[in-house]
Amino acid sequence: MAVVAGATVIGGDGYDNVLIAIDRDGGHILYRERMPVPGSMWQPWRSWLGQSGGASAYFFANPVVGIGPVRLTPLICYEQFIVWPVLQSMLSDPEMIVAVGNGWWTADTNIVAIQRASASAWARLFSKPLILSFNT
């Protein structure tokens, strides 16, 4: 059994949005976000200008991760809205989708409801069980 939680790993050049897995043997990074929100989070021009900051994007990394024997597709926030991360993951035929988001900043909007609807639609389209977790 493992607990999966969202976290931010801060480094010298910026930060990574990640999912970590914690079990009786300790913890480790399970997933690094493939596509943070362009502009507000992912800012590749900062490195071109010699500046640090912004979220890293791991476009082609880890489309499916494992928790014990279960292979799952993790989708963090913005990844639930766009086609690429979902299609990339479904090519590996995961057993389920885990969709997480940080919605505290979206109070009085429909953003979390739209994320839930989007993740649910992806799960139905590909006939995959879905686990949702949003902090609001």
For the chain, 136 residues long, give each residue's pLDDT as a single digit of tens: 889 999 999 988 899 999 999 999 999 999 999 999 998 899 989 888 888 889 999 999 999 999 989 999 999 999 999 999 999 999 999 999 999 998 888 888 999 999 999 999 999 999 999 999 998 7
- Residue whose C-alpha is closest to residue 17's, from 44, 54, 46: 54
Count the neighbouring beta carbons within 10 Å of the beta carbon of residue 59: 9
What is the reported pTM? Answer: 0.91
Rounded Cα distance, 111 and 93, in Å = 28
Domain at 3-135, CATH from 3.60.110.10, 2.60.40.420, 3.40.309.10, 3.40.50.970: 3.60.110.10
Q: Pull the structure tokens for residue 42.
A: 């992912």
Rg over alpha carbons for the chain, rounded to the nearest Å, is 15
20, 29 Cβ separation under 8 angstroms: yes
User: Domain limits of the chain?
Assistant: 3-135
